[in-house]
Each structure stands twice: as C-alpha cells, then as structure tokens.
A and B are shown apart, each in its own frame.
Chain A
C-alpha cells in the first residue's frame, strides 16, 4: 500500500494537469473496450444463417405434380411446406366461414393468390409450438395438430385449440400457371 502512496503523493510535484493524465487512462481503457466490443460482433454474427443456407432459402415448385384434392409436403428452410390443390368443396367451405368468429380473423381470399383459389401454400408448422399438423383431422375438415389439439379449417385458419394464429402463408409468387417460387 505504501508504494501506491508514493506514486500518489508525488503526482502534483512533477507538473502536468492531473485531469489530463486521467484522460489518457480513460481514453486507453475506452479504446480497448471499444475494440473488444467490435470484435464481439463477428463472434455473434457467425451464428446467423450462412451464405449457403440463405442461398437455399428460395425454392421453385412445379404444381402439375399435385392432383386436385391432394397435398404435397416439401422441405423449405428446414420446415415442412404444404402445397394443397383444394377441391371446390373445400374452397366454398372456407369462403362460407369467412365471417365466423375466429381467433385470428382473415378472409380466405387474402390467403391465396387472386384467381388461384385452389392453390393453398402453407408453412406446415403449428403456430402453437411448432408441431406438424395432419390434414383431414379436427372438427373443421382442415388440419389438426396432434400435439396439443389445435383445429385448423380448409383455409388453414385456427378455429379451436391453443394455437394463437392461422397457419402462416409464406411469401411466394406464380412464375407461370404451373410453377411457383417460394421465398
């Protein structure tokens, strides 16, 4: 302790503004801390999706492979993607329920592309906790999630059960009448 005292007591004798000297220490510590903080960013960012993962993020799909009343499940961004070719009956049932009381109200027409009402594209991941719902179960003729019993209708809207939101419609576009690009 005596040594620190030696340094401390002699300070004023040697001239120089003490606050100026403190500034040097503060600047050095601040610069070191700033550099360390900047270095942290690469270490965090490396956990974000890598370039090859991002490159696979969009996929093209040929709709002729799906007959009416059937659904094809693809893997997209590591999750199941339902591409369903709906029957006339399914569509009219969905449209008829547009004004029914719902947790997450949405019109069927807003969930498909204009003029392509038979094509319903959904991310096959229950909005409750991420299980994969199965088609043809539940009380509404649509999807049913076996994990915690969420019922979705033929438009993929949540009607009963713990899930808070409708099945998500991903970003997609029609490249031609028979081809969609998802993502």
Chain B
C-alpha cells in the first residue's frame, strides 16, 4: 500500500512540476469571477449589452464575427433577448441594430452587386473583403475572427480580459519592432529580441494590435462607469457568449440530467443489492 501511495505521489508531483512555468512563457491569465461560471452560471444581460457596445464601437472596425447573425443577439440568453419576442427575428432592438449595418447583395432584377441594410437574418458583415485586405490594412497581421475567440484561446475570457488590460511598457533590453507591442499575456518567445541573460527572458510576446481600450473609450447606456477594466470585462463576457451561446441551456439541462442519473443509479443500486442479496460473491 505504501508503495502504491508513493507512486501516486510521484505522479502527482510530476504533473505539478509540469504546470510550473519555464522562462519565456506568457503569464497565466488573471482569474476573473464571471457570472457564467459554475453549474448554475448565467450570462449577465446588462454586461452582454455593454460588451456588445464595446465590440461594435471598438473591435468591429478590424475584427469580423462572421459566424453570428444579428438574430442571435435576440436569442434566449443573448444580450437583447426579450420574452415578448420569442422569435428573435421580430425583436425590435435586433432589427434596429441590423439596420445600421450594410451587407452585400445582388439586385434581383439587374444582377448588379449592391449594398442594402441588413436584416435580422443576415450574418454580421466582415470589416474587410478578404484575408489579404485584412492583412494589408493591419501591417501584415490578421485580426482574428471573434465568433469563437473565447473558446479558441486557452484561458478563454480570462485570457482576453488579461490581454486587454495587460499592456505595459516593454522592459528595458527588449527590442520591439515597428508595428509590434509588448504584452506579457501574449503567447510567444521573446528570446531572440532580449539582450539580457537567457534565464530572465521577459514573459509574453509581441502583438500587432496596439492597446485597443482605455478609460472612457465607450459610453455605457446604463450609466456604468466606463473604465478600461469594465470595458475589458464586458467585452470578454460578450465574446464568451458569442462563442458559446447555448451555455445557459447546456448548464441547466446538465443539472437536470445529473440529478436524474443520480436517482437512477440509486434505484439500480437498490435493485442490484436486492438481486444479489442471497448470493455470495
């Protein structure tokens, strides 16, 4: 038994050691308390609305969100869901938001390429026509699509929040190229740009995006004070919703399913004990 325990301890020790960071890795993301965490987590609708505004006014000028349609904003759990409009296509907030965008279409009579105001069924239009155009306008870097960003980065919304609030002046001795910005949360390896010892390479990497948010950048309609921290939190929550819109439904269903399975297991255990009660085994 002692031997078994010591083996387990050794494995656990190895796993833990593996977690520790070697020099050159990014900082681990800050741990934020989100309303959607935990088994009963739900999105905070006011936060999603603020987050959408940050996305609309700041992010969307470079970042596409092409997997989402306007109607999704009015879906259950979404930023503009209203019980009166079960069908999100009829949601007046969604319609008003869609109308502000222009989407490409084909004139059904002449066949010409035209622009028309979006409807709630349309997808969010991308700010650039294609990847080449996006890179061209951003110094060669491609602003990633935001539809799945919160699931496509390890650390998820914590990572996005940390990155947005994590811009600092580069440490002395780090050579920052033109169009590059230092961020300790960005994955990367700065060894080649570091003039100091190899043991003390600064954490993080370079990011082509300059610090996008700052205090007062967006005016929130609900009167929430528009600090950098608040904007970063709200837009990270919004992006988590965009990446996993069924999160609330999933967690609620999960709770019912697990309760059911616990009951079923209890019944089956009782049944099992009854069947086997006279059998030695």
Contacts and interface: CB of A to CB of B under 8 A. Distances in A.
Interface of A: 6-7, 10-11, 14, 21, 24-25, 27-28, 31-32, 35, 51-52, 54-56, 58, 60, 65, 74
A54 B274 CA distance: 51
Interface string B265-281: 00110110011011100
Interface of B: 69, 71, 75, 87-89, 108-109, 119-121, 260-261, 263-264, 267-268, 270-271, 274-275, 277-279
A6 B278 contact: yes
Contact of A24 (B71, B120, B267): B267
18 contacts: A14-B277, A24-B270, A24-B271, A24-B274, A25-B274, A25-B275, A27-B267, A28-B268, A31-B264, A31-B267, A35-B261, A52-B121, A55-B71, A55-B89, A55-B121, A58-B89, A65-B108, A65-B109
Secondary structure type dominating chain B contacts = helix
Given A7-B279, A51-B75, A55-B88, 13 more contacts: A14-B277, A24-B267, A24-B270, A25-B274, A25-B275, A31-B263, A32-B264, A35-B264, A54-B87, A55-B89, A55-B121, A65-B108, A74-B108
A164 B89 CA distance: 35
Given A10-B278, A55-B120, A28 B89 contact: no
Nearest to A22: B274
Contacts of B278: 6-7, 10-11, 14
Secondary structure type dominating chain A contacts = helix
B254 to A, nearest CB: 13
B261 to A, nearest CB: 8
Instruction: Kindly name the residue among B69, B88, B264 whose own CB sees the greatest number of chain A CB atoms within 10 A.
Output: B264
B226 to A, nearest CB: 33
8 cross-chain pairs, A with B, having the tightest CB-CB distances, nearest first: A28-B267, A55-B121, A28-B271, A10-B278, A24-B270, A31-B264, A21-B274, A28-B268
A60 B264 CA distance: 51
A163 B97 CA distance: 45
B120 A28 contact: no
A170 B270 CA distance: 58
A93 B133 CA distance: 58
Contacts of A60: 119
A27 B274 CA distance: 13
A55 B271 contact: no
A171 to B, nearest CB: 14
A55 to B, nearest CB: 4
A52 B72 CA distance: 10
B191 to A, nearest CB: 47
A32 B264 CA distance: 7
A74 B108 CA distance: 9
Instruction: Kindly name the residue among B88, B120, B261, B270 whose own CB sees the greatest number of chain A CB atoms within 10 A.
Output: B270
